[in-house]
Amino acid sequence: MTNRTALITGASRGIGLACAQALAAAGTRVILAARDEAKLAAASAAIPGSSWVKIDMSSEESIKQAFAKAGKVDILVNNAAVTKDGLALRMKKDDWDAVLSANLTGAFLAIQQVMHPMMKERWGRIINISSIVGETGNPGQSNYVASKAGLIGLTKSLAQEIASRNITVNAVAPGFVDTDMTAALPEELKQSMLAHIPLKRFGKPEDIAAAVKFLASEEAGYITGAVLNVNGGMYM
């Protein structure tokens, strides 16, 4: 993947950072994108040849500015996501809007920024990070689940639209992965989830990054519109 440039959203930590590290190790020039400039600068400093741009996935203007600064992007990894959990009965519309805006609309707007250059180049990789809950559902997360299920639908539609230009669009659906976001969950809940994972361990960010690296590669050139489940067998 030399001479290719990848932009990864939500890349200052967790899965996004692991994706940036894996792609950089494969010879790709990586651009880390997230909201926290201090974390971005620190993360980028540890990846030789990388750079970073600040991006707010809930702001169309911020997305446009970030991609203008980034320049040509051959590989887009839509990883950034927020959660505002709560039972649907009591969920505020603001919490619904905030999650759909950042996780789904933001991903779509980012894709729009790279589509034309990719079509002109007749090469591109778009990889959307969905979630196991986008396929199974999850109580108390109707907004997050809708956004992640929406990413799967977006992936399949776009894959059909732009396949003729040699651009692949795929989704990766992680299961339960050890990150800052999941570290805050109660131990009892973690043990309950572990019991439902046939491989008997939680995923690591590197497990997801390996799948992303494969889908971004030349070897994955005949795969498009796919949802690659990386969940230890938790959902089949």
Evaluate the CA torsion angle 192, 193, 194, 195 in order and state its sign. positive
Active site residue 235: no
**Which residues, in sequence order, are bridge partners of residue 170?**
127
The phi and psi torsions of 224 (rounded to 5 degrees) equal -150, 150
Please, are residues 32 and 70 in contact by the beta-carbon 8 Å criterion? no
Per-residue buried b or exposed e for 158-188, using 16+ beta carbons within 10 Å of the residue's own CB: bbeebeeeebbbbbbbbbbbebeeeeeeeee
Q: Which helix (H) or strand (E) holds 152?
A: helix 142-162
126's enclosing H/E stretch is: strand 124-129
Determine which helix (DSSP H) or strand (DSSP E) holds 9, and give its type and residue range: strand 5-9
- 8 A C-beta contact, residue 9 and residue 34: yes
The strands making up 51-54's β-sheet, listed across from edge to edge, are 51-54, 29-34, 5-9, 75-78, 124-129, 167-174, 227-230
Cβ neighbours of 105 (radius 10 Å) = 17
Candidate list 144, 155, 173, 228, residue with the active-site label: 144
- As annotated, the active-site residues are 144
